[in-house]
Each structure stands twice: as C-alpha cells, then as structure tokens.
Amino acid sequence: MNRRTFIATTSAVLLAGCSSDGDDTGSTTTGTEQSTTTQNSGEMTGTTQTDTTTGDATTGETTADETTDETTTSDSSTTTGETRTVAFGESASVSDGLDVAVTEADASDSYDHGGTTAESSDGNTFLLVTFETTNTAQEAKSLPEGAMASVQANGEQYDVAEAAAENWQQFVSSSVNSGGSATTTVAFEVPEAVVSSFGTSVQLSYTDSGAEQVVRWNME
C-alpha cells in the first residue's frame, strides 16, 4: 500500500448569498386577493345598510395591513450562506463550541472498514481523509444533521466512497462530550491525477438557520 501525505495552505474566501424575491411576490399577491375577497363580501351582504358596508370595508383594510407585516418579517429573517477556506490542519467552527479540522490526507489503493478491505478501481485511488472534531462547549455536541464531506478537484465533486458512507454517518450523528474530541478517517475514490492536482480541496457542507455553510481545506 503506497501512502502519500499532503499538507495544504489556505486563503480565506467569503461568498455572500442573496435573498429571493420570489417569496415576496407570492406573499403580496395572496394578501391582495384576500383583501379583495373581503371587500366584495361586504358589498354583497351590506347593500341595504350603510353601517354594515363600512364595517366590512374596514375589515378588508386591516387584512391587507397584516399581510404586509408578515412579508416584512419574512425578509428580515432571511440568512445568507458563507464559504470559508482554512489552512490544512486548522479548525473551523461549525456551531457554538464545536470545531472541525482536516488533519491528514493520504492516497491509498485500498480502504479498510468494518473488518473488510475495499480496493479502488483501475485508474483510481482512495484519498483517505482524517477529520477531527473538538468540543469546547459545556455540553455534548455533534455535527449538524446532514453534514456532507466531499473532495473538489478540476471542477468535479467526489463524494464519500460507498465503502465509507456508514462510517461517515456515524461520525456525523455521534455526540462529542464537553472538553472531548473525536476523529474518523473516510475514503473518497478519485482519479489518480486528482491527488497531485493543484487546487484539490476537502469540503464540508452543512445547513445553519436555513442557509448552506461551506468549509474548505485546500491541498496544494
């Protein structure tokens, strides 16, 4: 088994997302239709009584105002995503008190898991990446649900190898006690050329408050 260890340096990149106008348009349209319906109802039931017509019209104006307030609240709660690039071996915070680092990356033609050994296909190799989580919070912490790891190279994305999928899911769902840490090594099957390719990076993506967050460790 041949292993080659790679160390990366990094630069920081920030990308800002933007909020969508589509939801605003939908909310405004719905509010207008509700207001019109209420006013029409008032005119039909209050044809012979002036005070009934006036009351219904007032109700219709109130409904329109409430719809506008709801739309404003939706805008103020919109969050933007972030992409961070950190040095290979350095950690990045993914939640209060929980940090993640990529500490090692080796190339190998095989991957041992659960008492069995998986072999990479011809022309490919396994990139074995070690992740470490550290918990400095006062309570047990785990990675955000649904957190995904991948290797990015030459415009392509390589997900966790099938042989390592269960191992990765266990790592994501397992809690790290206060003051503790945990490590795991997962495999990504990539073309052999990717290992030495300039710009190859290991990426962790997860969702926080409805926005996708990305951490990248560059291998150069």
127 neighbors 146 (Cβ within 8 angstroms): no
Angstrom distance (rounded) from CA 167 to CA 92: 21
The confidence band for 219, taking pLDDT boundaries of 50, 70 and 90, is confident
> Among the listed ranges 43-47, 89-93, 149-153, 191-195, which one has the minimum average pLDDT value?
43-47
pLDDT at 80: 56
Quick: pLDDT tens for 69-83: 333 333 444 365 789
92 neighbors 101 (Cβ within 8 angstroms): yes
Q: Percent of the chain at pLDDT above 90?
A: 55
Please say if the pLDDT value at position 166 is more than 70. Answer: yes
Show the 3-state SS of 94-120: EECCEEEEEEEEEEECEEEECCEEEEC
pLDDT at 81: 79
Please say if the pLDDT value at position 149 is more than 60. Answer: yes
pTM score, whole prediction: 0.63
Q: Measured between alpha carbons, how far is residue 123 from residues 72, 190, 194, 200 in Å?
A: 55, 9, 11, 18
> Token digits for 47?
């044809």
The confidence band for 156, taking pLDDT boundaries of 50, 70 and 90, is very high
> Token digits for 76?
């103020």
pLDDT at 140: 97
Please say if the pLDDT value at position 158 is more than 90. Answer: yes
Q: What value does the mean pLDDT take over residues 194-199?
A: 85
> CA 146, 151, 157, 162: dihedral to nearest 10 degrees?
-60
Quick: pLDDT tens for 105-118: 999 999 998 889 99
Q: What value does the mean pLDDT take over residues 51-74?
A: 38
Give the residue among 122, 191, 134 at the shortest CA–CA distance from 158. 191
Angstrom distance (rounded) from CA 128 to CA 98: 23
